């Protein structure tokens, strides 16, 4: 179904030429283990794209960086630690450096990039979390003392455009692809400072990545949220301010949003004459399973908008809807932030200021954090450390929002769909936007 698109993406890569990219040097490899995970950090000469996959029999995690090579000073590699029995490396003939982690037992890897910050070089970090029970906890004599278990919340940060696709351009020539990459990298770093969150960048360099790849990669990184960072442009240079979008379930809600979506979608495929009808159709079909994610998208979008509104001008006070292809992940809540109008001189000035970008990244993070603090995904450390919601003895009222489903609402309030149906005299699953639902008290277990 998507073969055509893959093919074009490959052609685009070849046309870009590998010769331009200097190999990434792996300068050192470190490993450390704590109660929650084993962490492997690679110090790199420059930011790198990488591939991460697992193999079984025996269990291994493989990290490929291309073009890349490990240098002599990085050897010998450190001995294994935690669930890692051994670390091996090889500079392969095709210009790839391959790092292999031999595991004692199957583990779940997650990787993210940290940008050089003056003290430390660019780093590729791979965290390995045990699947199932933790050996460390099993060994611990006092179970009560064990730290809360669970996985980190993963935020996919998607810097719009890149490579041959520059995006919009400001009056003084500032390019969208550059400023959104800076904001995205900063946002990822802030996310990484949170002990319970991890960032995944869909691109960490000035590189073209097509839309579907951005979504697919975020899904394989098991992202709990996909945040796409952009900057807007308009022929009327007076227009300014930030806007937060979620995917519209039924097409663009207004004409401006439709035009913008057309442009972002077109820009994102980089002017390549791409017949995307198939994937658009697939997207529409996926919408059917998308409602729960959409409801969460509205909620997280609201939180982000509130935080951005405290530090800068926002164009629309409410989360907007538009049919952005990049937001069409079936199961990952997704928002797209037009951080400012790069076509407006004062917005352009803001975007080129590192102080401003810092505040913006912080505001976006605060919104994300606010959302996940009240809606921690099951299985995460954040969910485990939160006090369980005290059982409610009284009814609540819930105003149905666009995109919500009965099951998502039931899930949120920890009651069954059946009970909501019976309290509200509902027959099926059909609910109406704006209608007030009574939410019955939680039942004692």
Kindly report the three-state secondary structure assignment for every residue of the chain: CCHHHHHHHHHHHHHHCCCCCCCEEEEEEEEEECCCCEEEEEEECCCCCEEEEEECCCCEEEEEECCEEECHHHCCCCCCCCCEEEEEEEECCCCCEEEEEEECCCEEEEEEEECCCCCCCEEEEEEEEECCCCHHHHHCCCHHHCCCCCECEEEEEEECCECCECCCECCCCCEHHHHHHHHHHHHHHHHHHCCCEEEEECCCCCCCCCHHHHHHHHHHCCCCEEEEEEEECCCCCCCCCEEEEEECECECCCHHHHHHHHHHHHHHCCCCCCCCHHHHHHHHHHHHHCHHHHHHHHHHHHHHHHHHHHHCCECCCCCEEECCHHHCCCCCCEEEEEEEECCCHHHHHHHCCHHHHHHHHHHHHHHHHHHHHHCCCCCEHHHHHCCCCCCCCCCEEEECCCCCCHHHHHHHHCCCHHHHHHHHCCCCCCCCCCCEEEECCCCCC
CB nearer to Zn ion: pick between 24 and 180: 180
Shortest reach from residue 256's CB to Zn ion, in Å? 15
Shortest reach from residue 213's CB to Zn ion, in Å? 16
Shortest reach from residue 348's CB to Zn ion, in Å? 14
CB nearer to Zn ion: pick between 186 and 230: 230
Shortest reach from residue 49's CB to Zn ion, in Å? 21
CB nearer to Zn ion: pick between 150 and 160: 160
Q: Which residue number places its CB atom closest to Zn ion? A: 230
Shortest reach from residue 322's CB to Zn ion, in Å? 12
Shortest reach from residue 146's CB to Zn ion, in Å? 45
CB nearer to Zn ion: pick between 121 and 167: 167
CB 34 within 8 A of CB 135: no
Q: How far is CA 371 from the centre of its chain?
A: 14
CB nearer to Zn ion: pick between 160 and 376: 160
Shortest reach from residue 231's CB to Zn ion, in Å? 6
CB nearer to Zn ion: pick between 112 and 245: 245
Give the footprint of Zn ion on this chain (CB under 5 A): 160, 167, 230
Shortest reach from residue 223's CB to Zn ion, in Å? 20
Shortest reach from residue 327's CB to Zn ion, in Å? 13
CB nearer to Zn ion: pick between 324 and 356: 324
């Amino acid at each position: 179904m998507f073969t055509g698109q893959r093919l074009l993406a490959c052609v685009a890569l070849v046309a870009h030429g590998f010769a331009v990219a200097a190999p990434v040097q792996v300068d050192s490899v470190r490993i450390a283990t704590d109660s929650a995970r084993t962490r492997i950090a690679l110090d790199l000469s420059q930011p790198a794209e990488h591939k991460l996959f697992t193999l079984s029999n025996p269990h291994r995690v493989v990290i490929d960086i291309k073009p890349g090579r490990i240098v002599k000073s990085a050897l010998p590699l450190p001995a294994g630690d935690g669930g890692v029995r051994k670390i091996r490396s090889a500079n392969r003939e095709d210009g790839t450096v391959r790092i292999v982690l031999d595991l004692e037992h199957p583990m779940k890897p997650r990787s993210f990039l940290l940008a050089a910050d003056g003290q430390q070089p660019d780093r590729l970090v791979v965290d390995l979390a045990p699947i199932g029970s933790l050996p460390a906890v099993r060994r611990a004599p006092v179970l009560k003392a064990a730290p809360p278990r669970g996985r980190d919340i993963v935020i996919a940060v998607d810097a719009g455009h890149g490579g041959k696709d520059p995006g919009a351009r400001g009056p003084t020539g500032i390019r969208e692809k550059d400023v959104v990459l800076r904001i995205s990298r900063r946002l990822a770093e802030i996310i990484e400072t949170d002990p319970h969150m991890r960032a995944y960048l869909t691109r960490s360099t000035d590189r073209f990545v097509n839309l579907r790849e951005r979504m697919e990669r975020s899904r394989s990184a098991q992202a709990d949220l996909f945040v796409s960072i952009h900057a807007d442009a308009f022929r009327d240079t007076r227009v300014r301010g930030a806007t937060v979008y979620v995917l519209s379930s039924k097409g663009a809600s207004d004409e401006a949003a439709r035009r913008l979506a057309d442009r972002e979608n077109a820009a994102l495929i980089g002017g390549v004459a791409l017949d995307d009808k198939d994937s658009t159709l697939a997207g529409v079909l996926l919408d059917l399973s998308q409602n729960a994610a959409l409801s969460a998208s509205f909620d997280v979008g609201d939180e982000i908008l509130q935080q951005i509104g405290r530090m800068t001008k926002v164009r629309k006070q409410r989360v907007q809807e538009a049919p952005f292809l990049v937001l069409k992940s079936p199961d990952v809540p997704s928002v797209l932030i037009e951080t400012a109008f790069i076509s407006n001189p004062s917005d352009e000035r803001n975007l080129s200021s590192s102080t401003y970008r810092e505040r913006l990244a912080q505001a976006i993070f605060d919104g994300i954090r606010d959302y996940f603090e009240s809606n921690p995904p099951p299985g995460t450390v954040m969910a485990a450390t939160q006090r369980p919601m005290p059982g409610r003895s009284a009814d609540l009222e819930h105003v149905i929002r666009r995109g919500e489903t009965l099951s998502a609402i039931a899930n949120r309030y920890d009651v069954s769909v059946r009970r909501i149906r019976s309290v509200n005299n509902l027959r099926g699953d059909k609910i109406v936007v704006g209608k007030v639902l009574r939410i019955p008290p939680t039942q004692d277990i």
